[in-house]
Amino acid sequence: MPRIVPIQRTVSAQASIPARRTTSADFGGGTGLFEAGQTITNVATKLQDIQQRQEISDVQTRLAQTRANLTIELDQTLRSAVPGDMSVAGKFLEKSQNQIEALGVNVSTRGGRQAYETGKATLLADIQRSVFLAQADLAGKKAKQDFIAIKEADRNTLLNDPTQFWSVLDGLVASLKDPAGQFALMPAAARLQLATEAKQELALSAVQGFIRMSPEYGKKLLTEGRFDKFLDADNKNALLREADIALRGRSIEESRLKKAQEDAAKAKREADKSDFVGRVY
């Protein structure tokens, strides 16, 4: 009789059945789904990169346009500004900062924000420098206007009283050198030029005043070289001619007055003679 070998159980009813990890292949996907996920991520990254690059370009464009507009506006503001108006800088800077700050309101990407912040800092610094230079220019124009007004007033003084020449000249030069005055803000070369011109013009007015007072004395001052350090040859010769004209004019006037007096005396004598003859006869 054949021998029957009994089957031995290797897994008990209580033992767990070994499990295998489920893969996408179990659902017919293979590696396709993983690759699709990577593709979506790459597309999103590329879209973000494109958005960032576009925003950077937009920011740079708007900053450049704002720079051009503010430069034009500053030029127009200066053309209409009153020399010495100290409010120009503050008002324009506030307006400029508001416009520049508005450019960054809707910037959302990291690269766009970085481009904006960098461009903003540069633009604000440039605008501030331009505005302060413009304010200094307005102050310089005001100082020059004031100097001309002072000089013209001093010239009128000397035409009527030339004896004040040295006092007036010293006062004008001192105002140019005063470190606390507005002229101190002007370049040294510009102040030197103003002083040189003022000395010459004040000397001209003083000599003209002396000629008005006494042509002989005025001519004497010129021939003795009393004002040579202030007057060039052309101005000196012109004043000498003016003195000679005054002398001739005075001589003519004296001759006219003398003749008028003689004529008046002769007429009086004739009248007296006629009256005497009339009384006799």
Angle between helices 110-160 and 88-102 (to 10 degrees): 170
Residue 256: its pLDDT value, please? Answer: 66
pLDDT above 90: percentage of residues in the chain: 53
Tens digit of each residue's pLDDT (9 = 90 or more) over 3-54: 544 545 544 445 454 555 555 445 444 555 555 556 766 766 787 888 889 9
pLDDT at 209: 96
What pLDDT digit, counting tens, does each position of 226-241 carry?
A: 999 999 999 999 999 9
- Weakest-pLDDT range from 163-167, 204-208, 224-228, 247-251: 247-251
pLDDT in tens, 127-154: 999 999 988 888 888 888 999 999 999 9
